[in-house]
Structure 1
């Protein structure tokens, strides 16, 4: 049974880590074993980070991968915000 998990940009960054293999494994397992959600803000943070680490082509590939890879995008609207508070 999978849990609903909201991912922050750190978790997504660790899925591409070359220097933190243990964290990379945990992050990938978290994503593959659960129903995962991200927000547009998380994608913006991810983009900001990866454009400093990778060239723009590779950064765009990472952001596209993360936005399409079985992740559910949360788009805030008024009912959504009311439920959150």
Structure 2
């Protein structure tokens, strides 16, 4: 089985609503991987941004949620996730919400976290590599 990958919000948004064709192509290629994981925080961020910026209707959002839930592993944020995020922040200078994403990726045994806002090629806890797919 191939390694699991965790995909940050912006990569999803670029796949759905970006004017940069190359960034859209790369993002769509990433989310076409059958081993993609996201958490409920990412799903929430996708929805609010598509509602506000892309003017998705509630019906469009509902269809999107069902499709994402059917095709990808959607991990809930639990008290354990929040605790692990706190431990990560003790070791690494990281924003609260970013640490939740990192903690979720680690909890779900992902090897790579695709993000264009976190430090490229950074390795956390010798388990998770952050990759900016646009570098």
- Name structure 1 gaps, 5 residues minimum: none
Give the drift of 1:32: 1.6
Structure-1-length-normalised TM-score: 0.72
* Greater Cα radius of gyration, structure 1 or 2: 2
**RMSD across aligned positions (CA):** 2.9
Q: Which residue matches 2:47?
A: 47
Structure-2-length-normalised TM-score: 0.49
Give the drift of 1:60: 1.1
Give the drift of 1:6: 0.6
Report Cα offsets for 1:7-46 as digits up to 9, x if no partner.
1111110111340111111111112235000100001111
Between the aligned partners of 1:12 and 1:27, the Cα distance in structure 2 is 7
Between the aligned partners of 2:38 and 2:20, the Cα distance in structure 1 is 22
Larger proportion of helix? 1
The alignment of Structure 1 onto Structure 2 pairs a total of residues equal to 85
Report Cα offsets for 1:21-78 as digits up to 9, x if no partner.
1111111111223500010000111112111113341651574265235210112446
Q: 2:7–2:37: 8 Å Cα contact kept in structure 1?
A: yes
Q: Which residue matches 2:27?
A: 27
Between the aligned partners of 2:55 and 2:32, the Cα distance in structure 1 is 27
- Name structure 2 gaps, 5 residues minimum: 85-105, 108-124, 126-135
Q: 2:14–2:23: 8 Å Cα contact kept in structure 1?
A: yes
Q: 1:5–1:34: 8 Å Cα contact kept in structure 2?
A: no
CA change 1:66–1:22 in 2 (3 A) is farther
